[in-house]
Structure 1
């Protein structure tokens, strides 16, 4: 889980304290002030709930927010809980030498990418003993023809996946001849088979599976674009400029920031 807080916070699960801001003492009471102020909503690192605290049935998670003083002008928090599926990784992977390989075809494993496994790896030192660490393994969809579209997306729309499939050919990626490639149209939710159904200029924002902020927008060939962000809609910080349009869709990923809440794309 992660917590966004101002100025400090303590997290309880079923009445047990599992995490707290470093600015609070261990014996914090409900009216204890934080030793420092936060930088307009601090975002904690990912924290885990110790095993055995959460059980079957109802569980209660409580967040106790603390101010730096009794004259503070704001108070806020947000909480993100990400469940991890506890399953034996050996049911899905086998170790061959120094490689981790899928035990079966993913269609047989009943996995829906994107998917993250945490695989324990043990390093053994004859003097200091063994050290165990969890290594994240990321699974994602296949892209057989390397055109930027997952096979599952292409199959659902009839777009070409391999030379055994019917559909559009990567050598002729604009099936309907409307100036937008099939890949761009699928990404932007328009039809690659209808020349009257073309992307309009609109920016799409989302949080991806790696918890990054994703910006996706269509671009016109020959035009240049910039991506900017702001904390107050008054002053803008340029994240990237001189992005040349190629007639497709531009996608960029940026680290999430609690301070910057507004984004825009401009044609230069």
Structure 2
């Protein structure tokens, strides 16, 4: 706060009143041509009038600076409360996404246990490794884009155990973008959506490609697949780009980056679907995400 506390406050007020009283009257006497220290003359209540003006001005100045300091303090509290609310919201969205992914994986694992036990064991080992990496670190609201791509590679390897050669993927991340902070689990719901609605309905499977690039002050991430496409996908996906995972991604983007962030779905260049994320390289002032933790 701008306003001091305790004895400092009393000393500051006393010094200000004394200095202002003496200096102001000396300047006034010099300006009007009155004798030096003429304000000390009691005749005509000069001293009483001068003291009254000084006290009124002092009270006004004290109230102004006290109000200014209190306003700054309250504004800081509001900003902290807004950041805390944003952090709590992001943590809630992340905790909703993780069980969603885990339940889908366990459902697939249950099928494999009956049809192909060796692949089920391999998938369980991958899941164990994936969860160890994912849950071993403390929860953060942001991590480097490189860590997000590494996490995505782990998830795709996990899905490759189940789908075999039907799933192929490529991840393209320029070195200069690896340290850009992004919310965790930002891309996984998009990949999960591509596998579930694009590649799985296709007998021969397909390929998923994830690319990141910079356009001015925006980070652009494109995820394309060679699946069945929007027209053949489930109604909830093809009609309005909905679905649990996609809505969570949109909500998290808006919470962190504001109205400049966007997620769009469009048909692929030849086949399949293309999902494009665009958001500022820096989080918006209304929804600041903390700095990313270093890549392990």
TM bucket normalised to smaller: under 0.3
Q: TM-score, normalization: structure 2?
A: 0.26
Q: TM-score, normalization: structure 1?
A: 0.28
Compare CA radii of gyration and give the structure with the larger one: 2
Q: Which has the higher contact order (CA 8 A, sep 6+)?
A: 2
